[in-house]
Amino acid sequence: MVLYGTAALALCMLVGMLIGDVLGLAVGVDANVGGVGFAMVMLVLVSDWLRRKGLLPKPTEQGMLFWSAMYIPIVIAMASTQNVIEAVSGGPMAIIAGLAALTAGAALVPAISRIGGRSEALPPMTEEEKQEV
């Protein structure tokens, strides 16, 4: 079931990287600018759209949910391969931008956590559902 979501992840990743490369060229930087972020947002939007339209079979939905949960660690692993030393030696702007993003993200946690209402707990899994996992 996990393999079903892999094609959607790969497609979103390729399109996101293409957008990041084009954006990098547009701003005059010889680098990918936000391609992984575009891919992550695209994966969330595509999976939500397919789910709302009823075009997402159960195994595919479970595979996409798996990849949605795994995406952040994968992004962190990919981002760790970037050359941090060169970014920092490029000037203090990289450090300032990183600190600004960190501060904004930390400040938005309470606001984002209030989105949506309280919901009921999920019912316990049946034996059939446990075997599928």
Per-residue pLDDT at 133: 65
Q: 90-126 pLDDT, tens per residue?
A: 677 777 888 899 999 999 998 888 887 777 787 888 8
The answer to whether residues 36 and 79 touch, using CB atoms and an 8 Å cutoff, is yes
Number of domains in the chain: 2
The model's pTM is 0.56
Kindly give the confidence (pLDDT) of every residue in the chain, 133 residues in length, as a single tens digit, with 9 standing for 90 and above. Answer: 456 777 888 888 899 989 989 998 898 888 888 888 888 889 888 888 888 888 888 887 787 778 777 776 776 676 666 666 666 676 777 778 888 999 999 999 988 888 877 777 878 888 888 887 6
Distance CA 116, CA 14 (A): 32
Note down the domain range covering 100: 83-115
Distance CA 8, CA 10 (A): 5
What are the CA-CA distances from residue 7 to residues 26, 55, 56, 74, 83 (Å)?
A: 28, 15, 13, 16, 29
Same domain, 52 and 89: no
Same domain, 38 and 91: no
